[in-house]
């Protein structure tokens, strides 16, 4: 067991994959203190639209004061918390970049801060390639006990979907610009011209994380149309449930889906439509679960703990 004490900075401690990371590390003996950015929370993956620059500035005095406490290191989760971690004089800094913080409008801030952190964690090889410093690829882990395949019929009964037609899952808020719901809507609308049965596009958001396996198993396909990503958890969770995935070429998606039947990556709308039609016409399910065993939450937690040890031991 570990005896490390870690001060975490995060946009929102309600972020489900951050909370899962904390829970896993605590099961490995790490004691965590969490400081989150004040202000309204819009989404759970670090999106900044719900907070102002002033909100982020208000985090710094708390981070500075806490850095004088009995901690072994400070972990900045998401790029815009990195300046706060780097501007305290007491603790070594681990910086985790999630994707939108590197490829979005504040990417320059994240890249600059990454140069000064003691260690940097990214979600995918593409993110590592975008930096001009060394980093460790440790994606957010998947709870394979929770996300597992099951028959569609009972899952649809739980979520209230009919057994008629096809069900396509878009697991994000439609208003979230980076997730590009309008493109998903276009793709599904075009796919309707190629299939006799009706297709329903479900934008599912705001449900408890514990209920997401039911939606994944109720669906016939996951559709991801994001402008950019790091290592989208929705894709990995879909694979853990052996759900077909159709996605834009973002983050590590192409690597995750490479060679899997009933999994398609497209750059154009036409390629996405063709991929979606193909997976909906087929009764075959990809053996995606085998692809994500290596990123179970336990394994990625142990990797992060090892990195903490490296930082602390110098």
Rg (CA), the chain: 20
* Contact in structure between 170 and 267 (CB atoms under 8 Å): no
| Domains detected in the chain | 5-141+296-313 (3.40.50.2000), 152-293 (3.40.50.2000)
Instruction: Report the predicted TM-score, pTM, of the whole model to 2 decimal places.
Output: 0.83
Token pair of 51 as six digits: 């907070």
**What does the pLDDT profile of the chain (314 residues) look like in tens digits?**
568 999 999 998 888 889 999 999 999 999 999 999 987 555 544 454 566 778 889 999 999 999 999 999 999 999 999 999 999 999 999 999 998 899 888 899 999 999 999 999 999 999 999 999 999 999 999 999 999 999 999 999 999 999 999 999 999 999 999 899 999 999 999 999 999 999 999 999 888 889 999 999 999 999 999 998 888 999 999 999 999 999 999 989 999 999 998 999 999 999 999 999 999 999 888 889 988 988 899 999 999 999 999 999 98
Angle in degrees, 0-180, between the axes of helices 269-281 and 181-191, rounded to the nearest 10? 60
Q: What is the C-alpha separation between 266 and 248, in angstroms, rounded?
A: 5
User: Among residues 303, 161, 289, which one has the least CA distance to residue 220?
Assistant: 161
């Amino acid at each position: 067991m570990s005896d490390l004490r870690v001060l975490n900075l995060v946009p929102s401690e309600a972020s489900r994959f951050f909370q899962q990371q904390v829970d896993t590390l605590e099961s490995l003996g790490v004691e965590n203190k969490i400081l989150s950015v004040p202000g309204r929370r819009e989404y759970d993956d670090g999106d900044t639209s719900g907070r102002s620059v002033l909100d982020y500035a208000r985090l710094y005095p708390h981070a500075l004061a806490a850095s004088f406490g009995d901690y072994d290191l400070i972990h900045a989760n998401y790029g815009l918390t990195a300046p706060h971690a780097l501007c305290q004089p007491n603790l070594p800094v681990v910086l985790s970049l999630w994707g939108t913080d590197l490829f979005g409008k504040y990417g320059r801030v994240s890249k600059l801060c990454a140069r000064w952190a003691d260690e940097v964690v990214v979600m995918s090889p593409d993110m590592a390639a975008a930096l001009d410093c060394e980093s460790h690829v440790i994606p957010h882990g998947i709870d394979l006990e929770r996300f597992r395949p099951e028959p569609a019929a009972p899952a649809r009964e739980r979520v209230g979907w009919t057994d008629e037609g096809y069900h396509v899952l878009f697991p994000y808020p439609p208003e979230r610009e980076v997730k590009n719901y309008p493109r998903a809507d276009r793709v599904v609308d075009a796919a309707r011209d190629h299939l006799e049965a009706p297709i329903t596009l479900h934008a599912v958001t705001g449900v408890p994380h514990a209920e997401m396996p039911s939606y994944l198993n109720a669906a016939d396909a996951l559709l991801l149309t994001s402008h950019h990503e790091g290592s989208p958890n929705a894709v990995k969770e879909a694979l853990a449930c052996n759900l077909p995935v159709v996605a834009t070429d973002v983050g590590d998606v192409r690597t995750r889906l490479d060679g899997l039947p009933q999994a398609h990556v497209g750059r154009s709308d036409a390629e996405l439509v063709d991929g979606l039609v193909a997976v909906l016409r087929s009764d075959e399910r990809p053996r995606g679960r085998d692809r994500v065993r290596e990123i179970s939450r336990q394994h990625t937690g142990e990797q992060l703990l090892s990195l903490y040890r490296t930082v602390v031991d110098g």
